[in-house]
């Protein structure tokens, strides 16, 4: 099986600022490498900026379209406009595209990230889980890569995960699954438009996802969540290397959290993001093993934590 999509439609939200063209050009340089055929749609708030955006990307071999929505209303709603582009392609049933990628204008995704997602998507299909990415930034002083979304290290004993012992590999649910992007095949895209998370900013979500722009990147993160997990998003982890899979890391190019002393995020090293290391079961026994050799490991909360999480999950399930 090829680890590259056949035909990829990319939608980028770009609130026009001349100073951010450098990030847009940086991420767009990778687009031609992400699939056999790639179409790029940039959605911007400024109809007068099309020429400037286009000229900044002239040197890149892009099949490019730039759109500006009419009657946008609040500028934060720009992040939601890409859904109309995806919905149109889905409703046309032209099968022009096999995969769909949404991302913010400063998130760098390369071919290794795509290969990781394609591999994990097939592996995780039976579980209902979806491969996710970890946004990182670079601290200018230490040159360390740090998490752009987590404030503390992740204790694997408190995280739901699915292990593949034969592969010495695991997928871990992180406490904050935000990634500022989503990659879907046609099946996931259709599922997305069946969910409530295409309705707009009023869609229910945890407190940390309450903001309009962040909600636009929800995808199916909280739709049909498997039992024991807080979301469908899981991140690859190499048990032999005792670290998050390098291919799951995507660069948040401004590095603004990592270099802001006042920011609570941007401080946890990617190298030690999951600590202590995940270990594999010693024996292949137990009712949690699946036919494909995988095994679920779910956290065992205290009674108070269990009661609290159960009510939270119940609210989420009734809403969805």
Average pLDDT (97-122) is: 97
Average pLDDT (16-35) is: 98
| pLDDT confidence of residue 199 | 72
pLDDT tens by residue, 46-75: 999 999 999 999 999 999 999 999 888 888
65 DSSP β-pair partners: 41
Q: Is the pLDDT of residue 304 over 60?
A: no
Higher pLDDT, 233 or 72: 233
* CA pseudo-torsion sign 135, 139, 145, 151: negative
pLDDT tens by residue, 131-155: 999 999 999 999 999 999 999 999 9
User: How many Cα atoms within 13 Å fall on the side-chain side of residue 110?
Assistant: 10
Q: Is the pLDDT of residue 127 over 50?
A: yes
Contacts of 146 (CB under 8 A, 6+ apart): 136, 137, 138, 139, 257, 258, 266, 267, 268, 269, 270
Chain mean pLDDT for the chain: 90
Could you tell me the pTM of the whole model? 0.90
Domains and CATH numbers, the chain: 1-105+181-209 (3.90.550.10), 111-177+221-320 (no CATH)
Average pLDDT (148-175) is: 96
């Amino acid at each position: 099986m090829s680890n590259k999509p056949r035909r990829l439609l990319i939608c980028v939200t770009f609130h026009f600022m001349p100073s951010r063209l450098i990030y847009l050009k940086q991420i767009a340089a990778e687009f031609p490498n992400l699939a056999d055929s790639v179409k790029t749609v940039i959605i911007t708030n400024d109809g007068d900026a099309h020429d400037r955006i286009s000229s900044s990307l002239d040197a890149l071999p892009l099949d490019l379209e730039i759109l500006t929505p009419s009657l946008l209303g609040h500028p934060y709603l720009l992040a939601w406009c890409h859904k109309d582009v995806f919905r149109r392609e889905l409703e046309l049933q032209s099968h022009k595209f096999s995969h769909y990628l949404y991302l913010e204008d400063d998130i760098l995704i390369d071919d290794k990230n795509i290969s990781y997602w394609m591999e994990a998507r097939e592996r995780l299909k039976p579980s209902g889980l979806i491969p996710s990415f970890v946004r990182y930034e670079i601290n200018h002083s230490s040159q360390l890569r740090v998490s752009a979304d987590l404030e503390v290290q992740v204790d694997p004993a408190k995280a739901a995960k699915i292990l593949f012992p034969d592969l010495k590999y695991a997928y871990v649910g992180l406490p904050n699954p935000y990634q500022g992007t989503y990659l879907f095949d046609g099946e996931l895209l259709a599922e997305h438009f069946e969910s409530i998370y295409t309705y707009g900013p009023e869609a229910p979500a945890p407190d940390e996802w309450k903001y309009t722009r962040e909600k636009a990147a929800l995808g199916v993160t909280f739709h049909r969540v498997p039992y024991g997990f807080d979301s469908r998003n899981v991140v690859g982890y190499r048990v032999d290397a005792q670290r998050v899979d390098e291919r799951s890391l995507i660069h948040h190019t401004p590095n603004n959290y990592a270099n802001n002393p006042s920011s609570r995020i941007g401080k946890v090293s990617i190298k030690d993001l999951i600590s202590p290391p995940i270990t594999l079961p010693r024996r292949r026994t137990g009712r949690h093993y699946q036919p494909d050799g995988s095994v679920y490991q779910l956290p065992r909360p205290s009674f108070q934590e269990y009661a609290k999480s159960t009510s939270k999950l119940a609210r989420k399930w009734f809403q969805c």
